[in-house]
Structure 1
């Protein structure tokens, strides 16, 4: 017997254009779309056209069916012939053959342009690029609503997954104390060797063997754990950006601007993310945060998943749930509800379908917070900023989540390609007035979003 979906199939498949196609995310989405007869991506945009073509061949596409048009007319002809178009840029997109844009470039100026072009052409937008969402998401969402279109964060990445979990939690009537995710890479500790492995980077941390439980002083335990793994890079710009995106849709803010990043095990989360007066970390209700997952060999990973910590109620009810393995704080006042996964493009077809069908229930975002840049050293006038590396980070500045009214602060990802006009001392925020060469269309979108208020 084959188990099959009972949902009715579409008579006309959803036509997707994917930007930023030649990456890990793009591949996971394209592989999953092969399993779905009612949607597909025949226009793939990436400057590395040859890389896209090689990926398609790896995924089983006939090389003869892959073409590289340079104009929209050539693309239209290729699509009519049943071929897949690998495009170097947006100039060759045939927008008349697009129902949904999935934007995954991670490059602010390019992604904002793609999103505007899609909406102008009457296509819905599924935003996977959190960098673009953090800067321009409010304005792009407002534009889509004004046109009767949908603009949605893409399922499979943590912001959208956390928003879905938050919606479930709120609909069931809980009071949310904290919400967030685990960092991208676990801290895997082997007590036999005293070594912690974080995605292949190893440090000696023999003291962790005596710190595997919180003990009577959780704050002291957290401090000791952090000291043991001080040689590892645990905070990433990607984490802060994702929590900033969640803030746009929920109004949640970070308890401290760089977030707490406790080294924690999943069964401890209800204790750690309790209110401060109850012994936890949280100083204000509704805080976003990230934790570093500590696990032993053979233990399951949190897999970069998402969590919400809520206040409980009837003690008997929650002791019953504790007995079934749910994560309840030691004093019984808090519970952690979590989804230990984010499957990248494997989940995004859900959002593509929701965009076309109008079934997603997502709050209208507002610029409740901004992902800003705080100088980590004295920065001289003339310093040029560039987004680099797997985590899309910028040398010389740290990402922080703050109030957007803090003196025209520059969003972190608007620094990309910009240059300082004036010195910025260590510890100070970079402001828009300090910069030249800021991507104009992205800046316009950011200011338009700010103007909509909270």
Structure 2
């Protein structure tokens, strides 16, 4: 990829890529640990609501905080040190900053920070995938018009999957399915922050000692995060969402090409060209053999016509694992390293002017679904909480049903009772006028004409 060579050249020239990180949590800290040892990158600043937390993140990831912290952005620019601030907008506006890494995990804040970065001509790496699924098409369009890069975060599953999809298409293969693995059982949809640690084999005390946020981890277990990530992939890679949510089929790596093929050919997919998350557990709770819990995959096929015989023969000659027909095969990556790999996105944006995955369309959406019977007057508590989980739908279905995006299902009171398993709609909540809601409505108006139940 030559990115390391390009970064070294910038280091030799004394022109490092200057990076500002908004959010000093787990993902941000993982990036801090690597930017410290990446020639050609300068950690220009960290914005966090807690300066002590940002300082602690530096110390925990190997920095000498006393030596590296600057007293001003001007000093940071001159000396190569790092400015800490509680004001994200001040960091975004700082002279000399090249790339903003948005890692707050808050969709409303993420969207606002992206707009501010675009206004100031700074590239954005959007780690907060919830913001991307909420209003990503609009943010990407505004960034293009402003001449800056709006990018998915390499190391997180959506960007890695988009890279694999791009590889397959560049090689002339047709993408059948793409996605990731997770630990899933149907009962997990009802999981709450009070029950989550049993699913991870931890006690609440062990989790607290490790600084683990129960609501965040619960969003991974209850299906919300998988839905959000699959929506991001569908919108960036021109793929479709299943018509009634993810299937989460149990599947090991050796069976990808057999299970994740269209139903008409013996698989579980309702059609070709979709996203899907596979489970590392059989429905009875037994572990799947050679599971892909931490990894990503793409299933693809050679030309299905007679003219594709040569490529299919090559599959066989070179030991490629296929389905029984020899038509479908897959590649997978067993792990993703999250923030440890984020520098690839930063370098791509600053040095090549390219994203590592970017939202292109509004193919898929994630709406709030009741985890239990909800009563009028109850307050929704968003991803990973006690009230709702996020379910993936085609964008056309979400709009037709008036579904409330999961990224906005925070601190909204219900106007009526909602049954367990029922979609929560815009009409069901007391929605005040906020910048995030206005931006979402603008995105829907701008992209609704291109919404289709099918993609690719």
Tell me the TM-score range normalised by the shorter chain: 0.7 to 0.9
Aligned twin of 1:167: 166
Question: Residues 86 and 185 of structure 1: is their aligned pair in 2 closer, same or farther, counting only changes over 3 Å?
Answer: farther
Which of 387, 390, 396 is the equivalent residue of 1:396? 387
1:447 CA drift (Å): 1.8
Change beyond 3 A, Cα 1:386–1:235: closer
Q: 1:45 Cα shift?
A: 1.7
Residue of structure 2 equivalent to 1:200: 201
Would the aligned equivalents of 2:254 and 2:290 in 1 still touch at CA under 8 Å? no
1:332 maps to which of 322, 326, 341 = 326
Provide the residue aligned with 2:121 in structure 1: 122
Q: Calculate the aligned-residue CA RMSD, in Å.
A: 3.0
**Mapped partners of 1:184, 1:16: distance in 2:** 34
How far, CA to CA, are the matches of 2:62 and 2:31 in structure 1? 14
For 1:33, the equivalent position in structure 2 comes to 35
> Aligned ranges for residues 173-192 of structure 1 at < 5 Å?
173-183=172-182
Q: Is 1:304 matched up with 2:294?
A: yes
Q: Deviations over 1:57-90 (max 9, x none)?
A: 2333223235587xxxx44445545432222232
Deviation (angstroms), 1:363:
5.8
Looking at structure 2, the residues matched to 258 and 405 of structure 1 have their Cα atoms a distance apart, in angstroms, of 15
Over 3 Å counting, the alpha-carbon distance change for 1:406 and 1:112 in structure 2 is: same
Q: Is structure 2 residue 275 aligned with structure 1 residue 288?
A: yes
Which moves more between the two structures, 48-57 or 235-244? 48-57
TM-score by structure 1 length? 0.80
Higher helix share: 2
**What displacement does 1:33 show?**
0.9
Equivalence for 2:235: 248
User: What count of residue pairs does the alignment treat as equivalent?
Assistant: 402
Task: From the superposition, tell whether residues 290 and 76 of structure 1 become closer, same or farther in structure 2 (CA, over 3 Å).
Answer: same
Deviations along 1:241-281, one digit per CA (max 9) or x if unpaired, are: 00011121133223243311122211011110111011110
Distance change in 2, residues 1:404/1:264 (3 Å): same
CA shift at 1:234, angstroms? Answer: 5.5
The equivalent of 1:46 in structure 2 is 48
Contact 2:76/2:82, CA 8 A, preserved across alignment: yes
How far apart, CA to CA, are the structure 2 residues paired with 1:334 and 1:87?
51
Where in structure 2 are the equivalents of 1:18-167 lying within 5 Å? 18-21=21-24, 23-65=25-67, 67=69, 74-77=72-75, 79-80=77-78, 82-93=80-91, 94-167=93-166
Tell me, in whole angstroms, the C-alpha distance in 2 between the residues paired with 1:430 and 1:16: 39
Choose from 421, 431, 444 the match for 1:427. 421
Question: Cα deviation per residue 1:407-454 (whole Å; 9 max; x = unaligned)?
Answer: 432111101222223333333322223223557222222222222222
Alpha carbons of structure 1 residues 47 and 364: separation in structure 2 relative to 1, 3 Å: closer
Q: Which runs of 5+ in 1 are unaligned?
A: 187-196, 203-232
Q: CA deviation at 1:156?
A: 0.6
Kindly indicate whether the alpha-carbon contact (under 8 Å) linking 1:414 and 1:439 is maintained by their aligned counterparts in 2.
Answer: no
Cα shift at 1:406: 1.8
Is the partner of 1:373 in helix, strand or coil?
strand
Check the 8 A contact 1:376/1:426 in 2, yes or no. yes
1:276 to 247, 263, 287: 263
- Provide the rounded CA distance (Å) in 1 between the counterparts of 2:106 and 2:317: 47
- Tell me the TM-score normalized by structure 2: 0.79
In the other structure, the counterpart of 1:381 is 376
Displacement after TM superposition at 1:303 (Å):
5.6
Deviation at 1:119, TM superposition (A): 1.1
Q: Write out aligned runs for 1:351-390 (5 A).
A: 351-356=345-350, 357-360=352-355, 362=357, 365-387=360-382
* Distance (whole Å) between structure 1 residues aligned to residue 420 and residue 281 of structure 2: 32
Q: 1:351 deviation in Å?
A: 1.2
Query: What SS does the aligned partner of 1:152 have?
Result: strand
CA contact (8 A) 2:21 2:100 kept: yes
Aligned to 1:418: 412
Asked whether the 8 Å contact 2:124–2:150 carries over to 1, the reply is yes
Equivalent-residue separation in structure 2 for 1:160 and 1:143 (angstroms): 20
| SS of corresponding position for 1:451 | helix
Is there any run of 5+ residues in structure 2 with no aligned partner, and where? Answer: 186-197, 204-219, 451-456
Q: CA deviation at 1:282?
A: 0.6
The alpha-carbon distance between structure 1 residues 352 and 320, as it changes in their structure 2 partners (threshold 3 A), is: same
Distance change in 2, residues 1:371/1:160 (3 Å): same
